[in-house]
Structure 1
Amino acid sequence: MKYIILGLGNFGASLAEKLTASGNEVIGIDIKMNRVDALKEKITHTICLDATDESTVTGLPLKDTDIVIVAVGENQGVNVMITALFKNLGVKRLISRAVNSLHENVLNAIGVDEIVHPEQESAERWAKKLCMRGVVDSFELNEYFSIVEIKLPSRYENKTIEDVKFRERYNLLVLTTIKNAHVPTNIGKRKTIIDVQSVATPHLLLEKDDILVLYGSNKDIKKFISSK
Structure 2
Amino acid sequence: MNKQFAVFGVGKFGESVAVELQRLGCEVIAVDKDMERVEHIADSVSYAMQADFGDPDFIYSLGTRNLDGVVIAESVNLEASIMATVICKEIGVPYVVVKTKNERHAEILKKIGADAVISPEKEIGIKLARNLMKASFADWIALSPDYSIAESEVPKAWIGKSLKELDIRKKYGVIVVGIKWNSQVEVNPDPDEKLKKDMILILVGANNDLRKIG
TMscore range, shorter length: 0.5 to 0.7
1:196 CA displacement: 4.4
Give the Cα separation in 1 of the matches to 2:22 and 2:140: 22
The one-letter code sitting in structure 2 at the alignment partner of 1:82 is: A
Give the Cα separation in 1 of the matches to 2:146 and 2:88: 29
The one-letter code sitting in structure 2 at the alignment partner of 1:109 is: K
Alpha-carbon distance change, 194 to 68 in structure 1, aligned in 2, over 3 angstroms: farther
How many positions carry a matched residue from both structures? 145
Structure 1 match to 2:41? 39
Choose 93-102 or 52-61, whichever is displaced more: 52-61
Give percent identity, aligned residues only.
25
Match 1:55 to one of 48, 57, 60: 57
Structure 2 match to 1:82? 84
Task: Specify every segment of 5 or more residues in structure 2 that has no aligned partner in the other structure, as ranges.
Answer: 132-137, 150-173, 178-186, 189-201, 203-214
1:37-70 deviation line (CA, Å, top 9, x unaligned): 1111111111111212222211223233111111
- TM-score, length of structure 2 as denominator length: 0.58
1:86-117 deviation line (CA, Å, top 9, x unaligned): 12222110110111111111111112111111
Structure 1 match to 2:182? none
Give the Cα separation in 1 of the matches to 2:95 and 2:5: 10
Larger radius of gyration: 2
The one-letter code sitting in structure 1 at the alignment partner of 2:52 is: D
- TM-score, length of structure 1 as denominator length: 0.54
- SS of the residue corresponding to residue 73 of structure 1 reads coil
Cα pair 1:5 1:69 within 8 Å, conserved: yes
- Runs of 4+ that moved beyond 4 A: 146-149, 193-198
Structure 2 match to 1:116? 118
Structure 2 match to 1:73? 75
Choose 77-86 or 108-117, whichever is displaced more: 77-86
Give the Cα separation in 1 of the matches to 2:82 and 2:59: 15
Higher relative contact order (CA 8 A, sep 6+): 1
What do you get for the CA RMSD once the two structures are aligned?
3.0
Structure 2 match to 1:20? 22
Cα pair 1:52 1:85 within 8 Å, conserved: no
Structure 1 match to 2:208? none
